[in-house]
Amino acid sequence: MKPVDEKLAKSFGLNAGEYAKVLEIMGRVPSFTELGIFSVMWSEHCSYKSSRVWLKELPTKAPWVIHGPGENAGVIDIGEGMAAIFKMESHNHPSFIEPYQGAATGVGGILRDVFTMGARPVANLNALRFGDPKLPVTKRVVDGVVRGIGGYGNCVGVPTVGGEVNFHPAYNGNPLVNAMTVGIAAQDKIFLSAAAGIGNPVVYVGSKTGRDGIHGATMASTEFDASSEEKRPTVQVGDPFTEKLLIEACLELMQTDAIVAIQDMGAAGLTSSSVEMAGKGGVGIELNLDDVPQRETGMSAYEMMLSESQERMLLVLKPERAEMARQIIEKWDLDYAIIGHITDTGRIVITHKGVVEADIPLAPLSDEAPLYRRPYVEAPKPEPLGPVSSDMSLEAALLKLIACPDICSRRWIFDQYDSTVGGQTVKRPAESDAAIVRLEGTNRALAITTDCTPRYCMADPEQGGAQAVAEAWRNITATGAKPLAVTDNMNFGNPEKPEIMGQFAGAIKGMAAACIALDFPVVSGNVSLYNETEGKGILPTPAIGAVGVLENAALARGIAIAPGQDLVLIGSTYGELGCSLYLREICGLETGAPPVVDLAAERANGDFVREQILQGNVAACHDLSDGGLLVAVTEMALAGNTGADLTQADTTPAFCFGEDQARYILAAEDAEPLLTAAFAAGIPAQKIGHTTIDECLTLPGGLAISLSILREANEGFFPAWFA
C-alpha cells in the first residue's frame, strides 16, 4: 500500500489545501482508508463544494413542500394525505464509459433515492443529451443508453413515461444521462436518514459488496481525457432483479415500526451512507467490516468503504424489531447483516480483522468540507439576431424540421420502455405535454415532465435557466394539471474555469426568478460538473424535472386533435428566431439571443389555459417550443390522425417557426367562447385555423401536405439510423 502523503491525496482528487485540512482535522497523518473516506466525501460529486453557494439562491419553500433539498429526494403534498417523492440525478460520466451499465445504474440509483424515503416508485423519466448523430460513437452510446434505461426500468416494473432527447456536437465526448423517479407515499409514512438511538443496530441489506465502482464519485468529479477508457472498472454493474426485491422488501418492512433511519448506498457507497446517517443524527457510528456481506475474497477496508456496488441499503433498526426485520428481508432472498451500531462519540470508527482502519470525527468531516466561491465571469449577452432569410419554402422547411434529430418522433426510443406497467398510465409518451399517471385508488393524477433547451442556455444562461423552468411549468399546465415543484439536474463543464462558473451562476439566477414567479420551488436536485473531454465543455444544461397534480384525472388533456375543432393560439408572437431550430436547421446558424422569457406573461397565459381546461372548454392542448407553431400543429395532427387547415394564418417563417415563449395551441369545438374569455382576461388569443376531415395539413397560404408524408418524415430518423 502506498504511503499516505500529499501525492497520494492528489491522486485521490484532494488538492494540497484540502489535504492540509485533513491533517488539521485528524491531528496526524490519516490512514489509507481514512484518506479514501475524506476524498470521496469531499469530492465535487458528494460535497457540492463548487455549487453550494449558488444553490442557496433557489427558492425551496411553499406550503405544499414537506421536505425540500437535503433529504434523499424532495417531498410534496399532493392531497388526500399522499405525498409525491421525487428527484432527478445524473449518471453522465459512467454512461460515456459504459453506456448500458451507466444508464441502467443511473435508473437504479434514482429509484433507491425515492423508495428509501418510503415511496413506491410509480414513474420514471429521463433527460438525455447525445453528440453529433453523424458520429458512430453517438449511435453506440444512444443504443446502449436506451437499452440500459429500458433493461433496468422494465425489469423493476416502474413505467418509463416520459423524457427528452437532444443532440449536439458539444456532447460528443460527454453525453448526459439524467434519470428521474417519482414515487408515492402516505404523508405520515415518510422515512428519513438521520440516525438515532445509541446502541441501535446498523443493518446492511441488499446485494453483496464487490470491488466495482471504487472511487466512482471521484471519477465523476474530473474531466475526461484519452485515458478515460481505463476508468471502466469504476463503473458499476446493475442488477434490476435485486433492486425489485429491495423495493418490495423495504416497502414491506416500512409497514412495520422497525426502521429508525434508512439510506441507500449510492455514490461513495458505505462511506457516504454511514457518514451522512450518523452526521445528520448528530451521533457516532461504529462498523465492523468483517460482517459486511462480500462477493469477493480478500477485500480491504478501503475497498469495502469505497465500493459502489449497487442495490444496497443501510438501516438503523429498533433492536427489538431486528429479528422480525431479518425475516422480512430474507423472505425476499436478500442479504441481511448487522454490521455495527450507533454510538454517542460523534465519530465514525471502522474496524476490520481486529484493526481500527478509520476513526474520524464526523462533524468536521461534513462541516469543514471544502466550500468554494469560485471566480466567475458573467456570460456576455448575445447580440440580437439580425434579419435572416432563406429561400426554402414553408413546406420544405417544415418537412426538414420535423425530421431533424432534435424534433423528430421519439417513438423508436419509448417503444423500448414499458410505459404501462402498474396500470395507471393515463397518458403515455408523446400523447400529452407531460406524462399523466393516476394515483391508484383515487381520481387524482400526477403530471410529470423533464425539460431544458441547452442551446438557449449556451447563448444566455440566465434566459436559458428561466426558460427551462418555464417550459416544464408550461408542459404540466398544458395537460390541465397544477404545477407544484421542481427537481433540478445541473450539468455543466469544469467549474474551475470562470466562464463555466459564469454559466452556472447565470442559469441559477434565471431558474430562481422563474421558480419564484411561477410558485414552483426546487425540492431536490443534483449537480454534475466537469462534463468536459479534452478541455471542451458541454452546453450548459440545467435539466428540470417537474411534478404537478390533477384532481380529476379524467380532465387531463393530450395533444391529439379531432375533426370539427377550431385551433386557437394563446400568447403573443413576435417571431423570435434567435437560437431557434429553424435558424440552425434551415439557415445553418446558431446565433442570436434566445426568446425572451416574460414570466408575468408565462404565468398569466398558463393560468388562463389551465382554467379553460378544467372548465371543460378545451379538447386538446399543446405548448409551443422547439420549431414553433407549425411543428406544434403538425404534432397535434399526427397524434390525432386528423387534418388541420391554417390557410389564413401568417406565412412568414418568423410566425411559423419562431420560438416565442408562453404560448399554447388549444383545440376546441368552438373558438368563440375561448376568445371571449381570453379577451376578458387580457390574454392574447387568436384563431389560427381549424381541423378537417381530410388527412392533410394545409399550411398558411394554402398549400396542403398529406399526413402520411408528414408522418414518414417525422417517424423516419431513428428507425433509419438503427436499421
Task: By CB under 8 A, tell whether 439 contacts another protein.
Answer: no
Q: Which of 518-549 are b and which e, b meaning 16 or more Cβ less than 10 Å from the residue's Cβ? A: bbbbbbbbbbbbbbbbeebbbbbbbbbbbbbb
Shortest gap between Cβ of 472 and another protein (angstroms)? 24
- Beta bridge mates, 448: 435, 547
Query: Around 12, how many Cα atoms within 13 Å sit in the side-chain half-sphere?
Result: 28
Shortest gap between Cβ of 161 and another protein (angstroms)? 11
Task: By CB under 8 A, tell whether 712 contacts another protein.
Answer: no
Q: What is the Cα–Cα distance from 715 to 678, expressed in whole angstroms? A: 35
Nearest to 667 by CA among 646, 694, 695: 646
- Beta bridge mates, 333: none
Q: What is the Cα–Cα distance from 504 to 508, expressed in whole angstroms? A: 6
Beta strands (DSSP E) in 579-673 are: 620-623, 643-645, 664-668
Beta strands (DSSP E) in 493-652 are: 522-528, 532-533, 536-537, 541-550, 566-570, 620-623, 643-645
Please select the residue that binds another protein; options are 198, 377, 554, 720, rule is CB under 8 A: 554
Shortest gap between Cβ of 397 and another protein (angstroms)? 30
Interacting residues with another protein between 135 and 154 (CB under 8 A):
147, 150-151, 154
Question: Which of these segments, 252-260, 415-423, 510-518, 706-714, binds another protein (CB under 8 A)?
Answer: 415-423
The verdict on whether 45 is a catalytic residue reads: yes
Please select the residue that binds another protein; options are 156, 306, 505, 644, rule is CB under 8 A: 156
Contact letters for another protein, residues 236-255 (x by CB under 8 A): ---xxxx-xx----------
Task: By CB under 8 A, tell whether 415 contacts another protein.
Answer: yes
Q: What SS3 class is residue 514?
A: helix
Instruction: Considering the complex, state which of residue 119 and residue 219 has its C-beta at the smaller distance from another protein.
Output: 119
Please select the residue that binds another protein; options are 335, 418, 602, 626, rule is CB under 8 A: 418
Question: Which of these segments, 2-10, 417-425, 452-460, 524-532, binds another protein (CB under 8 A)?
Answer: 417-425
Please select the residue that binds another protein; options are 52, 139, 318, 428, rule is CB under 8 A: 428
Instruction: Considering the complex, state which of residue 148 and residue 213 has its C-beta at the smaller distance from another protein.
Output: 148
Question: Which of these segments, 44-52, 412-420, 518-526, 566-574, binds another protein (CB under 8 A)?
Answer: 412-420
- Write the DSSP string, 435-463: EEEE-TTSS-EEEEEEE--HHHHHH-HHH
Q: What are the residues whose beta carbons fall under 8 Å from the beta carbon of 124, sequence distance 6 or more? A: 107, 110, 111, 149, 153, 158, 159, 160, 161, 179, 180, 181, 182
Q: What are the residues whose beta carbons fall under 8 Å from the beta carbon of 144, sequence distance 6 or more? A: 95, 98, 99, 100, 102, 103
Task: By CB under 8 A, tell whether 623 contacts another protein.
Answer: no
What separation, in Å, do the N-terminal and C-terminal C-alpha atoms of the chain show?
Answer: 51
Shortest gap between Cβ of 399 and another protein (angstroms)? 25
Do strands 482-491 and 522-528 pair parallel, antiparallel, or not at all (unpaired)? parallel
Give Cα 232 distance to the centre of its chain.
24
Q: What SS3 class is residue 60?
A: coil
Interacting residues with another protein between 316 and 355 (CB under 8 A):
332-333
Task: By CB under 8 A, tell whether 417 contacts another protein.
Answer: yes
Under 8 Å between Cβ of 587 and 520: no
Q: What is the Cα–Cα distance from 435 to 450, expressed in whole angstroms? A: 10
Could you tell me the CA-to-CA distances from 696 to 325, 590, 692, 709, 710 in Å, in that order?
62, 32, 8, 9, 9
Instruction: Considering the complex, state which of residue 414 and residue 492 has its C-beta at the smaller distance from another protein.
Output: 414
Shortest gap between Cβ of 483 and another protein (angstroms)? 21
Task: By CB under 8 A, tell whether 157 contacts another protein.
Answer: yes
Please select the residue that binds another protein; options are 17, 199, 354, 423, rule is CB under 8 A: 423
Shortest gap between Cβ of 556 and another protein (angstroms)? 9
Shortest gap between Cβ of 157 and another protein (angstroms)? 2
Instruction: Considering the complex, state which of residue 239 and residue 303 has its C-beta at the smaller distance from another protein.
Output: 239
45, 67, 622, 690: the active-site residue: 45
Task: By CB under 8 A, tell whether 424 contacts another protein.
Answer: yes
Shortest gap between Cβ of 57 and another protein (angstroms)? 40
Instruction: Considering the complex, state which of residue 124 and residue 463 has its C-beta at the smaller distance from another protein.
Output: 124
67, 91, 168, 341: the active-site residue: 91
Please select the residue that binds another protein; options are 438, 444, 455, 557, rule is CB under 8 A: 438
Instruction: Considering the complex, state which of residue 141 and residue 219 has its C-beta at the smaller distance from another protein.
Output: 141
Shortest gap between Cβ of 535 and another protein (angstroms)? 37
Number of residues that bind another protein (CB under 8 A): 33
Q: What is the Cα–Cα distance from 260 to 200, expressed in whole angstroms? A: 9
Nearest to 614 by CA among 531, 561, 552: 552
Task: By CB under 8 A, tell whether 442 contacts another protein.
Answer: no
Please select the residue that binds another protein; options are 421, 596, 639, 704, rule is CB under 8 A: 421
Angle ∠(429,515,662) on CA atoms, nearest 5: 60
Shortest gap between Cβ of 158 and another protein (angstroms)? 8
Instruction: Considering the complex, state which of residue 355 and residue 554 has its C-beta at the smaller distance from another protein.
Output: 554
The verdict on whether 91 is a catalytic residue reads: yes
Task: By CB under 8 A, tell whether 5 contacts another protein.
Answer: no
Task: By CB under 8 A, tell whether 474 contacts another protein.
Answer: no
Could you tell me the CA-to-CA distances from 540 to 164, 473, 581 in Å, in that order?
16, 20, 17
Please select the residue that binds another protein; options are 115, 414, 582, 717, rule is CB under 8 A: 414
Q: What are the residues whose beta carbons fall under 8 Å from the beta carbon of 401, sequence distance 6 or more? A: 407, 581, 582, 585, 586, 627, 630, 631, 657
Question: Which of these segments, 180-188, 235-243, 399-407, 678-686, binds another protein (CB under 8 A)?
Answer: 235-243
**Looking up cell 474530473, which residue turns up?**
222
Q: What SS3 class is residue 397?
A: helix
Instruction: Considering the complex, state which of residue 54 and residue 412 has its C-beta at the smaller distance from another protein.
Output: 412
DSSP code at position 594: P
Task: By CB under 8 A, tell whether 425 contacts another protein.
Answer: yes
Please select the residue that binds another protein; options are 111, 141, 316, 426, rule is CB under 8 A: 426
Instruction: Considering the complex, state which of residue 424 and residue 642 has its C-beta at the smaller distance from another protein.
Output: 424
Q: What is the Cα–Cα distance from 444 to 552, expressed in whole angstroms? A: 5
- Write the DSSP string, 148-178: HHHHHHHHHT--EEEEEEEE-GGGSS--EEE
Task: By CB under 8 A, tell whether 419 contacts another protein.
Answer: yes
Shortest gap between Cβ of 331 and another protein (angstroms)? 8
Q: What is the Cα–Cα distance from 196 to 318, expressed in whole angstroms? A: 10
Q: What is the Cα–Cα distance from 250 to 245, expressed in whole angstroms? A: 8
Shortest gap between Cβ of 421 and another protein (angstroms)? 6
Instruction: Considering the complex, state which of residue 52 and residue 428 has its C-beta at the smaller distance from another protein.
Output: 428
Task: By CB under 8 A, tell whether 440 contacts another protein.
Answer: yes
Residues near another protein, by CB under 8 A: 147, 150-151, 154-157, 239-242, 244-245, 332-333, 414-426, 428, 438, 440, 553-554
Residues involved in catalysis: 45, 91
